Structure 1
Amino acid sequence: MFRFSTGKLFFTLLTLVSPACTIARAQQQAQQSAPSTAPAHSYPRMAGYVGILHPIVTFSSEGTVTNFDTYYIVGMPTGINIWKSPKIGFSAEFVPLVRAENGSSRMANFLFHPGILVTLAPGLTFAGRAAFETAGRYGFTPVLNKIVKKNKNSGYFVAVPVPFRFGNGHPASVTVGFQFGITF
């Protein structure tokens, strides 16, 4: 079985993220030095984001479970979007999830969440994501994302993810969540 040590995982993530940040910085500098008649964005275009995710309620054949009741789960989605055009793009999202319960906390799960992005209207995006969890579950997550405040080099967003999960000896489930964050 293929396993990552913490050091190897950190090095791998650093190796992937560092060039992406350098490319994004170079694109931003090129746009700032371009004449003012240049279009707002050239494509392909890269953007990063970070946020906070709160699963609210989960439904399955075992019953309904709500976050904030006997435990609290929070995630920190971090991702990179690569826009091919103003209408369509690809996204890779990484989400560590922490569970607090009975006075202690632990990292409960890690989610790899690649997907496609489709612009529905200015500032409104649909993300269709595949889902692969270290807890052994898999599935898909449709997400509606809305930019609520746009600045020159960043934007604040809110999103409603609806994860569908299967596998690992558990019944199929669907969750409704709330996410907010910043894109840059």
Structure 2
Amino acid sequence: MAFLSLLSLGLAGVSKTAIAQETPPVYPRIAGYVGILHPLVTFSGEETVTNFDTYYIVGLPTGINIWKSPKIGFSVEIVPLIRAENGTSKVANLLFHPGVLVSLGHGFTLAGRAAFETAGRYGFTPVLNKIVKKNKNSGYFVAVPVPVRFGNNHPTSVTIGFQFGISF
């Protein structure tokens, strides 16, 4: 009887250890995400424009990340941008945003994205991203995108934004 008690305690300890250990991710690894983007301020040769002043623009990024290894990956994102002004709102732009992901460690990722907008602008967007809370099957993140845009008879512009969302 004592032998069976010791055996069951030993097996319980082994099973708890096995359950507590996380299996390492297998690569390539695919993750999706959704978020909310707030452009804060845009600088150009003509003017400096702030969001929330005479209008409000919000983006709703949705994307897929394909991690080739723990350090490098590919991402593609689609971002509809909605503009609210004078009591009305509309989809003002749609952004196609493919890019490369580089893990910087400690939950930080740098995304270098190409940018193609239906409004006729194009350019690139470096994005610094940080996972702020990691769960078993999801994670919450914050990001600072810095879009640089050219074209469509407008001067070059640089925007600073704030983004937050959930990855799964």
**1:55 maps to 2:31:** no
User: What is the rounded CA distance, in whole Å, between the counterparts of 2:56 and 2:97 in structure 1?
Assistant: 21
State, as a whole percentage, how many aligned pairs show the same letter. Answer: 79
2:109 maps to a residue whose letter is T
User: What is the rounded CA distance, in whole Å, between the counterparts of 2:28 and 2:22 in structure 1?
Assistant: 15
Which residues in structure 2 correspond to 1:32-181 (within 5 Å)? 39-181=23-165
- 1:46 Cα shift? 0.1
Q: Which residue of 2 aligns with 1:9?
A: none
User: What is the rounded CA distance, in whole Å, between the counterparts of 2:45 and 2:106 in structure 1?
Assistant: 38
- 1:38 Cα shift? 7.4
1:90 maps to a residue whose letter is F
User: What is the rounded CA distance, in whole Å, between the counterparts of 1:40 and 1:77 in structure 2?
Assistant: 28
Ranges in structure 1 where 5+ consecutive residues have no aligned partner = 1-34
User: What is the rounded CA distance, in whole Å, between the counterparts of 1:47 and 1:106 in structure 2?
Assistant: 30
- 1:122 Cα shift? 2.5
Find the structure with the greater CA-based Rg.
2
Question: Normalising by the residue count of structure 1, what TM-score does the alignment of the two structures yield?
Answer: 0.80
1:52 maps to a residue whose letter is I
User: What is the rounded CA distance, in whole Å, between the counterparts of 2:82 and 2:24 in structure 1?
Assistant: 38
Q: What is the aligned residue count?
A: 150
Ranges in structure 2 where 5+ consecutive residues have no aligned partner = 1-17
User: What is the rounded CA distance, in whole Å, between the counterparts of 1:107 and 1:75 in structure 2?
Assistant: 10
User: What is the rounded CA distance, in whole Å, between the counterparts of 2:107 and 2:55 in structure 1?
Assistant: 34
User: What is the rounded CA distance, in whole Å, between the counterparts of 1:179 and 1:51 in structure 2?
Assistant: 7
C-alpha offsets along residues 65-113 of structure 1, whole Å, 9 cap, x if unaligned? 0000000000000000000000000000000000000000000000000
Give the secondary-structure state (helix, strand or coil) at the position aligned to 1:170: coil
Question: Normalising by the residue count of structure 2, what TM-score does the alignment of the two structures yield?
Answer: 0.87
Q: 1 or 2, which has the higher strand percentage?
A: 2
2:138 maps to a residue whose letter is S
1:156 maps to a residue whose letter is Y
